[in-house]
């Protein structure tokens, strides 16, 4: 039996398509997420909006919380580790989480190197702002990509920027001649073999999801129409006035993303969304998306 191969890792990412992955900090929230139709939950100690508000060092969440969440839900449970912190990742693998997010939302442990993800049997998801960053992470073994967006901001603008950039970079590659691909790989700072593959197929070799700033059903629909295959919602649900109703609405919006009539109906009963931040008001050094490379 072949366990933990790249194919098996990407297989789980395929099963999550067309769904919503929700950030949760307690077993109660995890239950609300599962009842609303989440395809997976991301277990963490504090949601990104609170990490932003409280400052300090943000680390992997406590194994006890992860275990309690695993015990209460039947859907996949993901958890975050710090960029480059492979010991945290080893612990998460020992806890049998279903996916690890090597995440810029936590304080990076290594400013130069990301985790060598091929060493693990558990699949990894990583954030990216452009194609070069996506392909570097895939080169290290990531089985799923997501936009970085700007987590905890409730502002979709960065996720849109990153998704458009990745898609545009892919389209550019597909029109190049074979003898132009090495120069393109140099410019992207990406592994040549994967650059060749993307130029040929016109898509990433792993599923491409959206994250960072999704707060409404309309935000989810926007990201899906821009080419995301699934959405992560972090602070958007449990920082709103009506988590259970909003969670369900975002699940529906991700399936019916190209049906405006349906989206209007879905959005009818919602209360206030999370407040949200203007990106320009976040000092450069506090922007999560700038962490990692």
Partner 1 sequence: MIKDLTVGVLGLQGAFAKHIAMLKKLNVQSIQVRYPEELDRCDGLIFPGGESTTMSKLINEMDIRDRLSEFNRPIFGTCAGAILMSNDSDDSRVPTFNKVPIKAHRNAWGRQLESFISEIDLRFDTDPFKAVFIRSPKLSEPGKNVKVLGILKDEIVLVQYENLVLSTFHPELTDDTRIHEYFIKLVKK
16, with CB counted inside 10 A (0-12, 13-18, 19+), is buried
State which residue, 36 or 185, has the beta carbon closest to partner 1: 36
Q: Does 185 bind partner 1 (CB under 8 A)?
A: no
Q: How far apart are CA 257 and CA 238, in angstroms?
A: 22
Stretch that binds partner 1, among 15-23, 108-116, 176-184, 217-225 (CB under 8 A): 15-23
Catalytic residue among 3, 17, 80, 290: 80
**Whole-Å CA distances, 214 to 30, 109, 180, 231:** 18, 26, 37, 8
State which residue, 47 or 143, has the beta carbon closest to partner 1: 143
Q: How far apart are CA 140 and CA 137, in angstroms?
A: 5
Q: Given the structure tokens 């950030």, which residue do they identify?
A: 23
Q: Does 4 bind partner 1 (CB under 8 A)?
A: yes
Kindly tell me which residue out of 16, 134, 221, 224 binds partner 1, with binding defined by CB under 8 A: 16
Q: Are 166 and 128 in contact (CB under 8 A)?
A: yes
* Least distance CB 232 / partner 1 (angstroms): 15
276: left (phi over 0), alpha (psi -120 to 50) or beta: left
Q: Look up 196 and say whether it is catalytic.
A: no
Kindly tell me which residue out of 256, 267, 276, 277 binds partner 1, with binding defined by CB under 8 A: 256
Q: Are 229 and 208 in contact (CB under 8 A)?
A: yes
Q: Which of residues 72-101 bind partner 1 (CB under 8 A)?
A: 74-76, 93, 96-99
Q: Does 265 bind partner 1 (CB under 8 A)?
A: no
164, with CB counted inside 10 A (0-12, 13-18, 19+), is middle
Binding map of partner 1 across residues 48-77, x = CB under 8 A, - = no contact: --------------------------xxx-
Interface residues with partner 1 (CB under 8 A) are 1-5, 7-8, 11-12, 14-19, 34, 36-40, 74-76, 93, 96-99, 121-123, 248, 251-252, 254-256
Residues serving a catalytic function are: 80
């Amino acid at each position: 039996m072949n366990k933990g191969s790249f194919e098996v890792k990407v297989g789980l990412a395929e099963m999550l398509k067309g769904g919503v992955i929700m950030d949760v900090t307690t077993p109660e929230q995890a239950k609300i997420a599962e009842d609303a139709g989440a395809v997976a939950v991301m277990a963490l100690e504090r949601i990104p909006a609170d990490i932003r508000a409280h400052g300090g060092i943000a680390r992997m969440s406590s194994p006890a919380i992860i275990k309690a969440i695993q015990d209460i839900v039947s859907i996949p449970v993901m958890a975050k580790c710090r960029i480059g912190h492979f010991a945290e990742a080893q612990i998460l693998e020992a806890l049998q989480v279903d996916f690890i997010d090597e995440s810029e939302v936590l304080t990076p442990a290594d400013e130069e190197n990301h985790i060598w993800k091929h060493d693990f049997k558990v699949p990894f998801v990583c954030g990216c702002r452009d194609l070069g960053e996506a392909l570097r992470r895939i080169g290290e073994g990531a089985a799923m990509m997501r936009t970085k967006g700007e987590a905890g901001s409730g502002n979709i603008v960065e996720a849109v920027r990153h998704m458009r950039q990745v898609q545009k970079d892919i389209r550019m590659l597909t029109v190049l001649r074979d003898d132009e691909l090495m120069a393109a790989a140099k410019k992207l700072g990406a592994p040549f073999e994967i650059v060749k593959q993307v130029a040929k197929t016109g898509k990433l070799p792993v599923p491409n999801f959206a994250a960072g700033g999704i707060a409404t059903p309309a935000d989810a629909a926007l990201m899906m129409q821009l080419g995301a295959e699934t959405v992560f919602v972090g602070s958007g649900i449990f920082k709103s006035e009506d988590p259970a109703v909003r969670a369900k609405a975002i699940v529906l919006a991700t399936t019916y993303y190209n049906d405006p009539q349906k989206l209007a109906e879905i959005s009818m009963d919602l209360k206030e969304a999370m407040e949200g931040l203007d990106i320009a008001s976040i000092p450069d050094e506090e922007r999560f998306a700038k962490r990692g490379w």
